[in-house]
Structure 1
């Protein structure tokens, strides 16, 4: 008897084998079709790219022939400007020590103007790369110095304000002003200053300056910081204070409604001069406080002792360890200055025509100077070599601590500089002739390869040659 089950199994196996062969054949066929499709797509893409490139070339040729030559040239220049970085020119090393302040930005206010020789946190705030080099040098050397010029119109007011991070020292070069200072006990000190006198405001002390003369006041202001100066004006504080807080603090008649009558001006009132000032102020008085108060914040530099040299004159507003030659009022200033950390010392330096402030350096202070009149040649000798440049009215110079420098007057008129030094102690200075005279002849002979007797040719002067005149 035939086994039907076996026969059925065999048939199924054969059918399965046949189906497998058919499936394999189908897969191979589909694979060939997909390969042909990929070849077709690649060819289509290549044709598309070729066509696009051809159209672009034809377009460029058409543009080249249809546009004027000048336009094509300008287009190429614009392309170059957009893609090629601009290489900054090298900054002359002298601008580490020199700032042409008259070329700097003028900050205009209703009552005057301010210009700065200072460090900026944002490099975009510098007018030029030369100004940036000077500001960066002040900051890098930790100079404790910033300089600003303040011009106040007649009847103008430098609004009451204070500085968070610096003492302020001012020299009045022109005009007459009335000063007000409010100390930490709420005591108000007011006094008058004229050209040639010095003012001093300790850090975080509220103060104001009012022009009470007919001509502009022109101040040179030095601040004891090498960082961005931080200042707050009283009007800005008032308008930033919530109305209810201001009302409760001041307790004015009318309460909060009175506070709401104040309107903030659109224009910064840092140096203020309202057009209707005569309507606002009647019978103003400019009183002088007692000397014991005034001389903490004031010094009569033009009336102080003159240190005479063959080639010029120096006067100093500084702390003196030996105060025997000071007046009682000058002693008050000297002591008060010494009590404030990072205060500055001020000086005027007058060099006659062809006079030389001989090479010297300061042990304990950076130096910053402003040219009031005349012109000069300046030399700076440091570890990088010697840098020489000329200075004129309005220029600012900077000499880091320990850096040997000299100043030679080159104009017919006297050179007059106002100088600031970053020390609240007595300034310590050493001149070239002093340290060479103090060095033994045999040491100099060995150093310069000259006979010891040769150094007898360098004379010793009875008169100090700090400012020399042949």
Structure 2
């Protein structure tokens, strides 16, 4: 056994995987059967730890307490310290050595948003007021219990939505007088163009919860146009004239907005649909306000799945919001890329991830995200999403104020550029590394194509030795 351990150490050292300064989670002391000493000597947040490659650290998953130590620099914290927050944001506590500059904050958690509590429901929002970099889009997280209604209303902005849990019934009216009534479940979308009146109602025992996206970062959920608010601020004599009924009928209407309130459970859609002939102006809408995103056939990649919904492909009505639903397998990464036409507004549904944003002029900053967090990446800024966990998926929505989902892949760019040009940019004077990199590009194109949006990453990283990788 000792011979095997010594041989393994020798092999790892010769491969460049273990040295006196860089020892990740598999280490000499782990191999020698002393894991407790290894943890102490190789805690990523300790003075002695060295990692010249800035490997990911899942502090929450590993139960670690991040401290501002990096490769011998930094020191401990003496003052007040929010351990829960530091675990959620380890790359703010100890940024990668490649971070530089004063890039604005690109992260917000719905947990920090004010919750408006109503009868049988609640709502909270992330707008430019909560997150100043959220310029192009605003988000609202809303919950409606069984039978609870988000009252009839409309907005100046378009409304795009993703059902997070439960079941919801929507109603809407189009500009030709056509009505729509539909029931949606987890993973379904809806889109209402600006000014189109609509309502929402929670169904099933637990009602529903959903994410709403509006195509203006300055949007406020508190400033929508509500039916009860309008009627409460209109003379009853005018209401009488408009509806051709005596004014006393309106004596008991609400004196202010209802917004979210408990309603009765609806009947079947066909029984509830207003009965009237097309001749008299009541008809079914020809517009498709909804789309079943999770029922859509995904694009399978080496590291997860991608589903895209935009007006150019699967969701024609969604003219101002495009989106991608991604699942990143344990340890996988959303490849290095950028979006040329719109800011990315990300919503993390499951898992833990880190994102480094490159803003040009030597500026880069790393952020960590978990369930319920919002991330912003301004258009044209390079970035990736790396799953921090080796055991749990990351599920995330990438959302854009655009009619089409568009991105550029760094791998695709490099693979599509003449080999000489790439080599002289990155490895001038180093023929050995030139060939390794160019061969990796060719191998990647041959095996999975130039674009592999979510990339498989071996659990212990790339070693350059497939047999040793399997052993590890």
With normalisation by structure 2, the TM-score equals 0.67
- What displacement does 1:465 show? 2.3
What residue is the counterpart of 1:115 in the other structure?
124
- Given that 2:328 and 2:387 are in contact with CA atoms closer than 8 Å, whether structure 1 keeps it comes out as yes
Give the RMSD, CA atoms, in angstroms: 2.4
Unaligned 5+ residue runs, structure 2? 1-100, 274-282, 458-472
Note closer, same or farther for the CA distance 1:103–1:365 as it changes in structure 2 (3 Å cut).
same
Alignment of 1:291-310 (within 5 A): 293=285, 296-310=288-302
- Find the residue that maps to 1:269 and give its secondary structure: coil
Match of 1:403 among 370, 381, 399: 381
What residue is the counterpart of 2:323 in the other structure?
346
- Find the residue that maps to 1:216 and give its secondary structure: strand
2:174 equivalent to 1:183: yes
What residue is the counterpart of 2:260 in the other structure?
271
- Find the residue that maps to 2:247 and give its secondary structure: helix
What residue is the counterpart of 1:429 in the other structure?
407
What residue is the counterpart of 2:398 in the other structure?
419
Whole-Å separation in 2 of the counterparts to 1:98 and 1:450: 40
Cα deviations across residues 394-427 of structure 1 (Å, max 9, x unaligned)?
1001111111110111122110012211111x32
Note closer, same or farther for the CA distance 1:469–1:450 as it changes in structure 2 (3 Å cut).
farther
2:128 equivalent to 1:138: no
With normalisation by structure 1, the TM-score equals 0.67
What residue is the counterpart of 2:216 in the other structure?
225
Note closer, same or farther for the CA distance 1:450–1:382 as it changes in structure 2 (3 Å cut).
farther
2:85 equivalent to 1:97: no
What residue is the counterpart of 1:377 in the other structure?
354
2:115 equivalent to 1:106: yes
What residue is the counterpart of 1:78 in the other structure?
none
- Given that 2:178 and 2:285 are in contact with CA atoms closer than 8 Å, whether structure 1 keeps it comes out as no
Note closer, same or farther for the CA distance 1:103–1:95 as it changes in structure 2 (3 Å cut).
farther
2:336 equivalent to 1:359: yes
- What displacement does 1:152 show? 0.7
Whole-Å separation in 2 of the counterparts to 1:257 and 1:404: 63
What residue is the counterpart of 1:469 in the other structure?
456
Note closer, same or farther for the CA distance 1:450–1:100 as it changes in structure 2 (3 Å cut).
farther
- The structure with the largest helix share of the pair is 1
- Given that 2:145 and 2:203 are in contact with CA atoms closer than 8 Å, whether structure 1 keeps it comes out as no
What residue is the counterpart of 2:309 in the other structure?
317
Cα deviations across residues 136-185 of structure 1 (Å, max 9, x unaligned)?
2223xxx2x00110111111001111111x11100001011110001223
- Given that 2:147 and 2:265 are in contact with CA atoms closer than 8 Å, whether structure 1 keeps it comes out as no
- What displacement does 1:458 show? 2.8
- What displacement does 1:389 show? 1.8
- Given that 1:94 and 1:389 are in contact with CA atoms closer than 8 Å, whether structure 2 keeps it comes out as no
- What displacement does 1:283 show? 6.8
Note closer, same or farther for the CA distance 1:283–1:162 as it changes in structure 2 (3 Å cut).
closer
Whole-Å separation in 2 of the counterparts to 1:352 and 1:151: 28
Whole-Å separation in 1 of the counterparts to 2:371 and 2:191: 24
- Given that 1:197 and 1:299 are in contact with CA atoms closer than 8 Å, whether structure 2 keeps it comes out as yes
- Given that 2:166 and 2:208 are in contact with CA atoms closer than 8 Å, whether structure 1 keeps it comes out as yes
What residue is the counterpart of 1:61 in the other structure?
none
- What displacement does 1:294 show? 7.0
- What displacement does 1:467 show? 0.8
- Find the residue that maps to 1:212 and give its secondary structure: strand
Whole-Å separation in 1 of the counterparts to 2:297 and 2:341: 23
2:142 equivalent to 1:150: yes
Whole-Å separation in 2 of the counterparts to 1:250 and 1:109: 30
2:375 equivalent to 1:386: no
Whole-Å separation in 1 of the counterparts to 2:323 and 2:240: 42
Whole-Å separation in 2 of the counterparts to 1:173 and 1:187: 28
Unaligned 5+ residue runs, structure 1? 1-91, 121-130, 324-329
Structure number, greater radius of gyration: 1
- Given that 1:365 and 1:427 are in contact with CA atoms closer than 8 Å, whether structure 2 keeps it comes out as no
Note closer, same or farther for the CA distance 1:258–1:436 as it changes in structure 2 (3 Å cut).
same
- Given that 2:118 and 2:260 are in contact with CA atoms closer than 8 Å, whether structure 1 keeps it comes out as yes
- What displacement does 1:260 show? 2.0
- What displacement does 1:286 show? 3.0
Whole-Å separation in 2 of the counterparts to 1:372 and 1:445: 39
Whole-Å separation in 2 of the counterparts to 1:210 and 1:468: 39
Cα deviations across residues 81-124 of structure 1 (Å, max 9, x unaligned)?
xxxxxxxxxxx95762100211211111113111111023xxxx
- What displacement does 1:226 show? 2.1
What residue is the counterpart of 2:230 in the other structure?
237
Count of residue pairs the alignment pairs up: 335
Whole-Å separation in 2 of the counterparts to 1:294 and 1:414: 38
